[in-house]
Every structure is written in C-alpha cells, then in structure tokens.
A and B are shown apart, each in its own frame.
Chain A
Amino acid sequence: MRQNSIHIIITMLALLLTSCIKTYEPLIQNKDAEKFVVSGQVNQGDTVQRISISKTSQIADPVSSPVSGCVVNITDDKGNTYPATEEKNGNYESIIPASELKEGASFRVDIRLPSGENIVSDYDQINACPDVDSVYYVLQDVPGINPEIPGKGIQFYLNMEGANYTCRNYRIEAVETWEYHSAYPIEWFYNGYIHHVVPLDFSRMVCWRTALTKDIFTLSTTNLSENKYVSFPLNLVDNYSSPRLQYGYSLLIRQYALSDAAYSYWEKMRINTNQQGGLYEAQPQPVKGNMHNITNPDKDVLGFFGASSVKLKRIFVSPIVNLPIDYNPHCEVGILLKNGLRQISPASYPAYLFGDNNGYQNVVIRSECVDCLILGGTTLKPGFWPN
C-alpha cells in the first residue's frame, strides 16, 4: 500500500500518545439533486465495450440506482457511430470492430436520457499499452488484529516495462480468484420437514470466487527517469481475515494505458477513496470527470468515459508452506434451538443441522459452513485453475 509516510509517523506518534481511530457517523443532509453518473470505456483488446449509466444515492443509504432507457452512441474521431444497447439495468454494450480500435483513435460517448437531456463526454484517445512485465509477491509481516502480534500476509507487486511506449500513465485492476471450502458436507437439513441426505452431499464444499479488489491503483512514470516501474505495490492478502490463501489464489492483472485526463481523474479517485485522516492530508475534493450535460450545462455529470488499451497477466499462488492460515470461519458452533425445529423461521429454510448417521441435534449450522455458494462463489472450477 502506498501511504503518506508522514501519516504513518503521525499514526506512530499517535500510538505512542495513545491516539485513536474510531468509527464516527456524521449527520450529512444532502439537499443537492441526484446527479447522473456515466462510466465506461473503450478498450483495445476487448470485444464488447461497456458503459453504465446510474444516479448518485444518498451517503446514508448507498444503493446502486441504474438509469434505463437511454439512447447511447459511441462515436470516434473519424465520424463513425456505434450504437450501444442496454443489456442489463443501466448497463449498455457496444461492439466496435477491432480494426477501428487503433492507437491514436479517439472516442466519446453521446447519451440521450429518458428525460430528453443530452450528455456527452470529451474525446479520449487510445494509447498503446506495454505488456505487464511481471507480477510477484513477497511474504511479510502485516498488522494483526492484536497490534502486538503481527499477522502474516503476501504483498503483490507489479513490474512495468514500457521502454518503447510513449504512454506514461496507467491504471491497474487486480481481479482475484480464490478457492475456499465449507466445513461440512450436507447431511441434515430442515425446510418444514426434516431431511437426511444419504450419501453425504459434498457438492457444495468446494467453491471458487472471483472479485475485483477494492482498490484503485494508478501508476505514473511521469516523474521517473524511465518509462519503467519496479515493484509497484498492489494488494495485500493476509492470513487471518479471509481463507483466500488456504487452498490456492490467483490474481489477474489488467493494465490500462491512460491519457493524461484519464490519469488525473483516476488519481483523484484513488486519493479520495483512500483517505487516512492524517494531519498532513489535504481535504478531499470533488472530482470532475469528462462528462457534460449539454442540455443543462449547470447540472454536473459525474464519471469518465475513456479510451485505452489493456494488457493482462495472471499469476497463481499455491498454498505457501511457511504461511500458516489463521482464519477461523467459526463453524464449530451453531444456534441451539431450545424449542425444537419449529423455532426456525421459514425465511431461513433450508436450515442445516448438526448430526450424524444416528440422528440430528437441535443445533443449526450456519449455512456458509455447509454451502460454499452462499459466500458468492461458484462450484465450477475456472478454466485457468491448475489441477
């Protein structure tokens, strides 16, 4: 993690002086109208280009509120127009022939909202993206739950080598996939009737889950003497807060080459989402993207429509010998039913019960301890997963 070093020092002094960080929820009343948000990009290397249109939601009640029924067109600097169709709620897709997705080509999006308002973006130009040179990890101590007992974890790094490229600004997405297991096979469950599964159902014991890491990574070589970056820190995976490293972990790197405007947008986004509250931290600022409401120019539109090229790289991390997993899913305990099975609300059917061949106990196992799908994964082994 890149951090403001002074922040660390202050945190440190603060520790010394027993400072503290605790949750605090200020009362925020937003009287501003909802704003429209457009995000999307055209990627050299992708066949389908995606745009999403939504509205902001109140901070107290954060929900995704997509905007359906827009007319969306992507246009390039040569005058070609590529209509986008709504695939899902507020998500629009367009297919642009690979022959038009060349370096130097510029694209923008033109949107007509259901209200009739017209939103357009600035043009953004495709820059060529160098290959991801390498991705690797380093085993290290990390702050544990108890500050005096450090945990362990792996820190991922990326090396970028762009000697023959002019682009100096990049954004990196890290998509992680990990295998995880539930604690028990399915044996007894209750859904109004008691069921005894024989033979035991092991089908939901092994899952794989894929997710985008929740960090924004921006990399710039503008201030470096070469268009090259060694050991750019990516995400950190520890051994106690999740089972990610227990059975195998894979990280897919998507490296985007960005224009200056796009970099400046994503860099501000990174800073704003990574506030630490330190003494020497500048206040967050509203981030202006490149979208404009040309019907009502006074109405701000959030988001950025970019054009870039992307390069991918995947690495796989097998369970590491000297990295013991300290994660406890707490499946050894369940909920005791004092009044018998009828106590179980139908809303939580099926309820899994502890038991053995001889019978069940009136103790409910948490679902994720027998059904790995509950945690959002899939039982389908990904194609890239080693055997």
Chain B
Amino acid sequence: MKNSLLVILLLILSLAGRAQSIDKVVAFHVKAIPFSEFCESLFKQSSVKIYYDEKLLKDLKVSVDSDSISIVMAVKEALKGTKLEVSYWHGSLVVMPGEKLLTALPDYNLKKNKNKDEGASSESLTKSEELYITGRKADVSKSMTIGMKGAAVPGTKAKIRGRILDEETGEPIFNATMYIAEIQNGAISDINGFVTISLSPGKYNASFEYLGYEKEKYQLEVLSDGNFTLNMHNAVIQMKVVVVYGDRQMNMRAKDPGLDKLSVKAIKELPMMMGERDILKVSGTLPGIVSVGEGSSGLNVRGGSSDQNAFYINKIPIYNTSHLFGFFPAFNADIIKDFSIYKGHIPAQYGGHLSSVFNIVSRQGNRKHFTARGGISPITGSIVVEGPLKKDTSSFLFSARSSYSDWILKKIKDPQISNSTAGFNDISGGINYDNQKTQLSLFLYHSFDRFSLNELTSYQYSNNGASASFGHNFGSALRGEFSLIASQYAFSTIDKQEPATAYDHPFKMEHYEARADFKHKIFRTNSLEYGASLILYKLDRGTVSPYGVESLRKTVELGKEQGIESAVYLSDVYDVLPWLNLTAGIRYALFTPIGPQTVYEYQAGLPVSTRNITDTLTFGANEPIKRYNEPDIRAAVNIKTDPNGSIKLAFNQMHQNLFMLNTTAAIAPNTQWKLADYHLLPSESNQYSAGIFRALAEYGLETSAEIFYKQTHNFPEFKDGADFLNTKLVETTVLQGDQKAWGIEFFIKRSMRKVEGWISYTYSRSFIQVNGGEEWNQTNNGEAYPSNFDIPHSLNVVINYHINRRVTLASIVTYQTGKPVTYPVSVYYVNGLPVFDYSKRNAYRIPDYFRTDFSLTVEGNLKKKKLIHSSLIFSLYNATGRENPYSVYFKTEDGGIKSYQYSVIGVPIFTATWLFKLGNYASE
C-alpha cells in the first residue's frame, strides 16, 4: 500500500459534518467536463468527498447522462476506460490506479468474529463493524421493517415469515433464496413462496435471489415477530438462463443430497424428439437417471426399476406419465413451475416408492392480468390460458393439449398402418386463492390416450386426478397444509388378433388420499416438518372376457383389492453449527391390505402353485388381511467446509407397497399395478449416499461428486413367461429377491454464461439375486445377475450457446453402455430345426447407445411493449443418424440363424415448433 502514500489527497471542499450517502441516487447530466468539475458537482448533490491524484486525471473528460444514478455508479461511469478504481473509505470515495482499497477483513476473521457473537444482537456492532460484515453499503437501497417496536420479548429471537412473489403475475416464487449476510445463512422459499427465519432484533442486510429475476437487496429492521412480502421482478435484460439448478446455493441451505431440479425455460431450448418438450426425458441427462429408451416412458434411477419412481403433479400421483407408449410426455411443459427430483435423501413426507420422487408443481396462474401461451408442433397443439379471478388474491390456469388427427398415419402407404388410429390429449386446470395468510388451491388433471392398430388391437388409457389444498399460516412460525387428493389410472385393451382368443380387459386403479403437513420453525436453528397421511388404494384388476361371438376365451376375473397406507412423519432440520446442519426424519407407515378377499395358503417347501394349495382364507369387507409396519429413517448431514463447498451424507430408508406387473424394461400401456398382499411382501430399501459439492465461482461452475449404495429386499422378480392375464394369483408368478445398486456420479454445471450447460457422468451397477434355496425358488440358478437396467457408464453433455439474446443453439450428447442382454451361446437341433441354448441371464450387452441432438431457438424481437411474443424452435434429433439398437435378437430363418438389431429411431429427425405467449420476451 505504499502507493497510497503517494496519493495526493485533495480536499475539494470543506469537511462538512453532514451525513454522507454514497448510495444516494442523483440525476446527472454532464458532458465532457473535467473530472474536478464533476467531483464538485457531485459533492453539491450528495456531500460525498472524492480523493484522487490530480496527475492521473488531469486529462480526463467526464460524460454522464442519467436521471437516476447512485454516486458510486456515477463515479464508476466517469472513470470508465481508465484503469482507475473507486473505493469506499470512511464515508468518502478514493480513486486509485488498479486496485481497490480493502474495506473488509478477509472472511476467516469474520467467521471467528461471528461465532463468538453468535446470537448477539447486531445492534451491539459498531457502525464500522457492520460495514466490515456487509461490505459496501452502496447496494442496499431499500429497507423493510418487520414487527412492532416494543413487541419483542427480550432474549428471544423474532420469528419472521416472508413471502416472495413475482411482481408481474403475483404468483409465489418457489426456491428463491433469502440470504442474511450478518448470520451468513438464509432460507429458501417453499412452494407457496414462504420463507421462515428467526433473527434477533436488529438490522440486517438481506438479499433475495431467484433465477431469471433481478437480485433484490434490502435492509431489514427486525423489531419483533412479523411478516413481510417481497416482490421480485423479472430480469428483462438477462438472458434466459440456467437449466438445472439443483444444489444451486450449495454454500447455503440446500441440504438434500441427490436433489435435482430442472427448469422449464431450459427445456424449451433443448432439442426434443418431434418437438415435444419432455421434462422427464431431459431428466435422463442428470447423473444417476437413465431413460429406458425411445418409445418408452421408463426411467431408472440409481439402478432401480421404473416402478420405483413416484410422479406427482400438484400432489396427484400419476401412474402413467407418457403419451403414445412413451414417445411423448403426459404433461404440458407450459404449466410446469417447478420440477424436483429426489433420488438420495428423500424428505420424510414422501413414501411408497423406493428409488425417487419426481415432483411437478404447476404454475398457479397470473394474478395481475389475463394472458395466454401455446405452441404448435408436428404432433400436438397446446394452449394455456390464465388470469386473475380477483386481482392479487385469486387466479386460474387452464391448459389443453391435443394431438391432431391421424394425418401422419394416413400418409403411410402400408395398409396395416393407414388403417390405424392414434391420438391423445391432456387437460388440466387450477384455481388458487391467496390472501397471504391462507391459500386455497384446486387442481384437476386429465390425460387420455387411444390407439387402434388395423382394427385388430386397441388400447386406451387415462389418468384422472384432483387435489384440493388448504394452507394456513398459524402465526409466523407455523404453517399447516391440508390436502385431499384423488387419482385414477385406467386402461382397457381389446385384442382381436385371433377371433378364437379375442378378449377385452379393463383395469382401474384408484388412489384417495388425505394429508396434513406442517412446517414449524421452533427455534432459529430448528425447523420441524411433521404430518400425517392416509391413502386408500382401490384396484380393480378387471375381468378378461371374450370379445366377439367367435371368442372362446375363458372369462378370468383378476379380482379387486384394497389397501390402506397410513403414515405419520416427523423431521427436524437442525442447524447445529453454522457449518453443520442435520436433518433427521422418521416416517412410520402402516400398510394394510383389506378385504373382501379370498387368500390361499400353499404347502411350505413346495412351489407356490394352485396344485399346492392347502387352505383357503376368507376375509370380509374391510377386514385387515395383513399388517405391514414400515418404519423409515431419513437422515442427512450437511457440512459446510468453506463458503464454496460442502459435504453431504445421507441415509435413506424406503418402503414400497405398489408394484407394476411387468417382465420387460419398458412400461407397456397395459401394464397392471398390484398391491402388496398376503403373499407379495412390500419391498424395502436402504440407501447410503455421500457427496462433495463445490462451487468454482470464478468460472461460473458448480461441481459435485456423489457416491451411493442401495440395497433392496423383497424385490419382486417375475418368473419367466409370467402371464398376468390368466390368473389372479400373482403369488404364483413372482419370486422375491434382493437388489443391489451402487455407483458414483459426477456433475459439472456452468450457468449464467454465454455458453452454459452441464456434463454428467455416472458409473453405476445394478444387480438382482433371487435365491430362495430350492430350484423353483431361484432365478438364474440363484446367482446374482445384472438387472435389465444395469448401465455402467452414462455420460451426458448438455450445452446451451446463447449466440445473442434472440438466438440460442443447444445440443445434447448422450452416451450409455449398451443394455444387458441374454444371448444364445450355443445351438442344437431338434427335428432338424436349430434351437438356441441361452447364456446366463443378462451375461452380454447390446451395442452402446450414442446420440447427438441439436436445436436452434429463435426468439421474436425484444421490444418491451408488444402484444405477443413468439419463438421458433428447430430441433434435430439423432443428428448423426446412428441406429442405436434397442434390442438384439436371434431368429432361425429357413433353417439358418440370423441375428438382428432393432432400433426405434435410425435417422435424424428434424422438427420445427412454434411457441407463443402474450406479452414480451421476458413476461411470464
């Protein structure tokens, strides 16, 4: 700092004793005046002194033209183009070449300081100490007062509840962060925009951040318990940014290892098959998640089967998440507000599926004005209409999406195809009421699919759901939410391929749920989440009955079944130390299959088959058939190693009572679900995970590495050739074994840059072992084998290149190890026909999967005031035209042996999609 001694301090005007405010906003219109004149002018307006070396600035001509500019900004503007920096020093500004004056001590000192003073009121800090902590005050331009003078109880902390809303639409913002510099901690807003924090009375500098919104800085004056509301504006100037923001604030409060988030904006810009924005398919580019393949809706999360994932939209469970056999998503991307995936630590409020929770929360609708948006792709058209019912308190949202007529099918000359029809639609709508204290919401969802092949086989399936929620803030520390949820999944199949065996089969599953969830801030360092839920499952597996007069099909009643899942949970998020956070939760569920039901007992030690029935048990209506106690422990530790890094550890226990009757990797449209029952035991899993998270701020990077080990017991593995249409006794077709999965996941994400995106790499393995002792009780001779979804290497690269504000080029590159497969290893002849002898189960692999997609998004003009904004998205799927095999299979043909690979998509597919919305580029 010896240079500073050389600085000639020039006192421009007398030392006036008035309060100085460098953040004062002034109007300034000067052109090409000398710097000294500029300083004088500034002092007149703000009484801020500026110290500088005359030699350095004697030639500088200053031009500033602004109606409202802070003093600091004005000086910075004036110094633009020079290598001089302006620093704040004891209420004055100092101009020096090249380097800034240090105004705060390095962080480590600060930390020590803070720990010592933990809990002390910030009032006890001197003005200068406060400055050390908050840095330049220049940024703080607004202030808020919370609570009332004199209302504070001495020695206790004030409980503060804030509400963060979108200024334009009035909708709450989920996952916005509130950061209090003084305590180096903060809170994240919940789905209703609420943030809860305990602070000692005093003054604080709070900053509020959310993607795509302008950062807000406030000075909070905390007097006592109280509430505040904060409106955030869309950052019009910013680029559309950031795609995945899981663990975004890793130096802050996101405690859940294995939590990933996808933002809908990002998905819009990514290349998609046939132009349909599929949030679930994009989730397959995240570490630990693998998509089963094109034309299939299954996702495998951390080596689990696809029925181990729970999907919710506004609390409604959705049991079939795709249209047209998995080619397209069953959700309109335009209504999605938040999409979170839990795959490691799953909060205690969730239960019932072993691998993951995919939680979609819809937007609530614009509370300020009516608006609409929509899109047209080669396959579907969609529209979303929303607006206030009563300004600022209630709103509605309605979305409809439908495929067009069968024009594509009709274009195909093959008569089998042109005689076929296909179509789908989904409709959803919601109404929300919000008076800050109480929120009411109602949401309805419907999706429908039909498919008929050459008038021989037809499928229909639909999801229907409704949820009603009542949320209320009891004081500033306790919030309760009460919900009623109903969901139904139904399909029907008509198979007329052979008149003699033609049949129809309807299936219906209903889910009724009542739940209460509470969030309770009991102390500054402790937040409790507790609640209870009650679910009634009603399955009607349907009756397979003959179709048509010629059919001889035997009528098979697959039966009805019911089960009650009741659960209570309690979870505490405890900030033990500023750098140590614990989440400990317990969920206790009781699953009870209930009658009426007839159950058979089988001879012990013999195969479970109708031949070995020893006894028949009859259960009356609502009589419990069995009781399964299912305690789950969910624990997570979050250790902040430094402001940019953390280590997270988690232990997660789950139970699952509902299974898909499926012997293949893909989910078919006629896949039945089945409850755990007298014989079929609930599955349970224990997952251990650990992760290191680190932000490299200077490069805009966030990185993480996570390892996991997951063990599942009573994993249902269906026997070879299991037929779920000809017997209601599922226990005769299933064996239960163990599943093991482990892996390591790496993730690097770059955001808020011109070139952004992420790279994920996962190495993981997944094995199944079914060994009940006797030969009939084994699969693969009782040896462990790779599961159908054992994909060791999975690499995804997602890049968004914002060429300018209107044009974005995006690309997805995906590589996966080929799926395991059972190949024939030798040949023998029976009656002169070649027959295969197959290898051990899944001993081989099909060729690796590799795909590159591109998309180009062109936004309409950037005028701020316009009626309609539209964007065009050009997508090129599978740009290299690689024929990625879905399967490899062997056939005997004309006495010889042929092997084939089957690829769902073997050429590049180009599509153009048009999206529009009322309002400008940035409006939501």
Contact = CB atoms under 8 A, between A and B. Distances in A.
B217 interface: no
B823 A10 contact: no
Nearest to A264: B721
B322 to A, nearest CB: 12
B784 interface: no
Interface in A16-73: 16-26, 28, 30, 32, 34-35, 37, 39, 54-59, 62, 64
A123 interface: no
A274 B495 CA distance: 20
Interface stretch (A201-209, A245-253, A275-283, A355-363): A275-283
A223 B838 contact: no
A24 B901 contact: yes
Contacts of B439: none
Contacts of A212: 831-833
B827 A57 contact: yes
Contacts of B501: 223-224
Interface size class of B (residues with CB under 8 A): 35 or more
B906 interface: yes
Contacts of B885: 24
**Residue from A9, A20, A150, A284 having most chain B Cβ neighbours under 10 A:** A9
Interface stretch (B480-488, B553-561, B865-873): B553-561
A34 B821 contact: no
A230 interface: yes
A374 interface: no
A377 to B, nearest CB: 15
Contacts of B839: 28, 30
Given A10-B904, A230-B550, A231-B499, A283 B833 contact: no
Contact of B837 (A10, A56, A143): A56
B325 A279 contact: yes
Interface in B708-732: 720-721, 725-726
B275 to A, nearest CB: 13
Given A17-B905, A226-B552, A278-B887, A284 B412 contact: no
A3 B501 CA distance: 13
A39 B830 contact: yes
A76 B408 CA distance: 63
A187 B266 CA distance: 77
A240 interface: no
A279 B295 contact: yes
Nearest to A50: B831
Contacts of A26: 823, 844, 846-847, 888, 899
B892 interface: yes
B12 interface: no
B312 interface: no
A230 B500 contact: yes
B825 interface: yes
B285 interface: no
A286 interface: yes
B417 A229 contact: no
A232 B497 CA distance: 11
Nearest to A288: B775
B457 to A, nearest CB: 4
Contacts of A78: none
B826 A34 contact: yes
A298 to B, nearest CB: 10
A99 B909 CA distance: 69
A35 B293 CA distance: 36
Interface in B825-857: 825-842, 844, 846-847
B410 to A, nearest CB: 11
Contacts of A3: 497
Interface stretch (A102-110, A191-199, A265-273): A265-273
Contacts of A267: 721
A12 B420 contact: yes
A8 B294 CA distance: 16
A9 B453 contact: yes
Interface stretch (B1-9, B133-141, B187-195, B662-670): B662-670
B900 A24 contact: yes
Contacts of A229: 500, 552
A223 B556 contact: yes
A225 B904 contact: no
Given A13-B295, A285-B822, A302-B837, A275 B890 contact: yes
A23 B828 CA distance: 21
A303 interface: yes
A386 interface: no
A236 to B, nearest CB: 14
A13 B903 CA distance: 12
B736 to A, nearest CB: 18
**Residue from A2, A283, A287 having most chain B Cβ neighbours under 10 A:** A283
A139 interface: no
B534 interface: no
A39 B555 CA distance: 36
Given A231-B500, A268-B720, A302-B828, A25 B899 contact: yes
B788 interface: yes
B721 A271 contact: yes
Interface residues of A, number: 81
A148 B826 contact: no
Contacts of A337: none
A294 interface: no
A37 B828 contact: yes
Given A19-B905, A279-B325, A223 B829 contact: no
Contacts of B293: 279
B498 interface: yes
A216 interface: yes
B896 to A, nearest CB: 8
A230 B552 contact: yes
B794 to A, nearest CB: 20
Contacts of A275: 889-891
A338 interface: no
A290 B833 CA distance: 19
B899 A5 contact: no
A366 to B, nearest CB: 19
A218 to B, nearest CB: 12
Interface in B118-135: none
A284 B838 CA distance: 7
**Residue from A232, A268, A281, A282 having most chain B Cβ neighbours under 10 A:** A282
A13 B904 CA distance: 8
A314 interface: no
A153 to B, nearest CB: 14
A145 interface: no
A214 interface: yes
Interface string A221-245: 1111110111111000000000000
A147 interface: yes
Contacts of A232: 498, 500
B894 A20 contact: no
A303 B899 contact: no
A225 B552 contact: yes
B456 interface: yes
Contact of B897 (A6, A59, A269, A287): A59
Given A231-B500, A233-B498, A302-B837, A15 B417 contact: yes
A18 B830 contact: no
Interface string B402-420: 0000001100111111001
Given A9-B325, A264-B721, A284-B838, 16 more contacts: A6-B325, A10-B295, A15-B414, A16-B409, A19-B906, A24-B900, A30-B826, A55-B828, A222-B726, A225-B546, A230-B500, A231-B500, A279-B295, A281-B664, A282-B721, A283-B842
- A-B pairs, top 5 by smallest CB distance, nearest first, are A24-B901, A277-B902, A275-B889, A56-B826, A30-B825
29 contacts: A9-B420, A14-B295, A17-B295, A18-B905, A22-B900, A22-B901, A23-B899, A24-B847, A25-B899, A54-B828, A56-B828, A57-B826, A57-B828, A62-B897, A141-B415, A143-B414, A148-B414, A212-B832, A214-B893, A223-B501, A223-B556, A225-B552, A225-B554, A229-B500, A230-B552, A232-B500, A233-B498, A279-B666, A302-B828
